[in-house]
Structure 1
């Protein structure tokens, strides 16, 4: 069979595979190629993710209440217990939720203003909780005479918070304020998306390493960590739940069928103040 034998048809066999490229259905936003990864329904997936996020926070609170002595805000060990709760709630659960705002199908139509506001509010709340979490751990260390910033967990955690702070400030200035030109927003957007996705695994690594560090420092007598007492089992399961939650968020961010369509229009690049006017 030669290339000329297809002259009567509208298709060229040498371009067959290019014509079979995945396309997006306008009504469903799903990929229609047989080779594309099938996407589960978004709402049940969101419910599952919400349950996992609530479990991560609830189990962190329960762990510190049952085995670590509860909570206080006086520079004691009980004040330190706020550190894992605030960090998991802010940098993992709230931040992961904020990252998925533009994957909600209802955000695909109409103005982006409400979704910009929601994304900014969730990330700001996550930032405030992260700062309070740092205050809790530094106050405890300073009062107890424990050195700050000596472990890999502390380096990783502080680097995550600093990167998150820069991400929020530059994103606010670029996308929510009117002075950034459109070409600069278009240039910065993929950078913002990349670092937005990178911060979550950093937060997961900091959280899991922090749980592990706390267990190594605390479980010595009478039952060491190596013998897996009940607290070790519980905290290890908590770490795995954090891992599962974060991986599902990253999987949702990478799902082509859930990405917001971005038509070539000036509206998609408008800052908040201009869009609201």
Structure 2
């Protein structure tokens, strides 16, 4: 009985734990091992009369692609080709990467993240209402309390929601324009709340005779809002205006994604530094020093941790490859939504 082995020229490439199919000089690397048929080895000394016919049969066999693969590529696994990718079946040319990441459905994660964002807004509102005297718009200390509430709501929670619009499975099919509008509208509302927060703090400082823009928190916060305004304007011109050329969109898209994550990180740092600065100023002349960790300090510190947790989870969701919207030329773009693999 003849022994079935891969072609000698491809024997050196059979390494690692990936299942590989070798047909002649073509090598396929797949997610899971699958039984594939190989051409039999030639006899050590074939007869002259049969040598030409067997060589022809061997060439035909070596050039024929695998008839069937017994597995389907799963999210979190990678299918690659070592040579001649155009000969590999289409369903195995692209599989989502991220083999080392935790497999988690997006919609439950999104609901959890929305609840966490609501908790952040509730915490900052309760802090200003319970310990800082409530809210007003008259240049008093109560007017300043609008600043942390509006900044956390706009620059952290709504901004994070806008960043995750394209991760919704519902946005993976059909026209992309409505989701662009939703993404831009959420970002615009977040920017409007941030501007109102700046108006509140500057009006309070001017009414009380307090200098503006002297602390690191104020520098970092204003730089974040200005960068956000440039980001929104550039995104509007590049992705929403109909006359923007395709090459401009393709060129600016990775820049837009990078600065989107950067702005969220800067917003988190600005909020945490602002909470810390407010506690130092408010508890400096209070009955209990900040170093004694009064109840207000514990509550505000917990708020800072919640803001960091929310932002880190948003950045983690943005970094997951299997939650990204498939590109139009990928196989995932033609798969059904909310299928079992997702």
Q: TM-score, normalised by structure 2?
A: 0.71
TM-fit CA distance, 1:192: 0.4
Match for residue 228 of structure 1 among 289, 293, 308: 293
Report Cα offsets for 1:73-100 as digits up to 9, x if no partner. Answer: 1111100000000000000000000000
TM-fit CA distance, 1:8: 6.9
Higher relative CO (Cα under 8 Å, sequence separation at least 6) belongs to 1
Indicate conservation of the 8 Å contact 2:128/2:134, yes or no: yes
Please list every run of 5 or more consecutive structure 1 residues that lacks an aligned counterpart in the other structure: 269-277
* Secondary structure of 1:154's aligned partner: helix
- Is 1:13 paired with 2:14? yes
The alignment covers a number of residue pairs equal to 258
1:90 and 1:82, CA in 2 relative to 1: closer, same or farther beyond 3 A?
same
* Secondary structure of 1:201's aligned partner: helix
More helix as a share of residues: 1
Partner of 1:172: 236
CA distance in 1, matches of 2:329, 2:258: 21
Match for residue 183 of structure 2 among 106, 109, 119: 119
CA distance in 2, matches of 1:157, 1:21: 46
Match for residue 258 of structure 1 among 306, 315, 323: 323
Aligned ranges 1:1-277 → 2 under 5 Å: 6-7=6-7, 12-13=13-14, 19-20=29-30, 30-33=75-78, 35-220=99-284, 221-264=286-329
Q: TM-score, normalised by structure 1?
A: 0.87
Indicate conservation of the 8 Å contact 2:117/2:157, yes or no: yes
Partner of 1:272: none
Report Cα offsets for 1:32-60 as digits up to 9, x if no partner. Answer: 35943132111111111011000000110
CA distance in 1, matches of 2:173, 2:158: 24
CA distance in 2, matches of 1:252, 1:214: 31
Please list every run of 5 or more consecutive structure 2 residues that lacks an aligned counterpart in the other structure: 19-27, 33-71, 79-97, 334-342
Per mean C-alpha deviation after superposition, the further-off stretch among 103-112 and 207-216 is 103-112
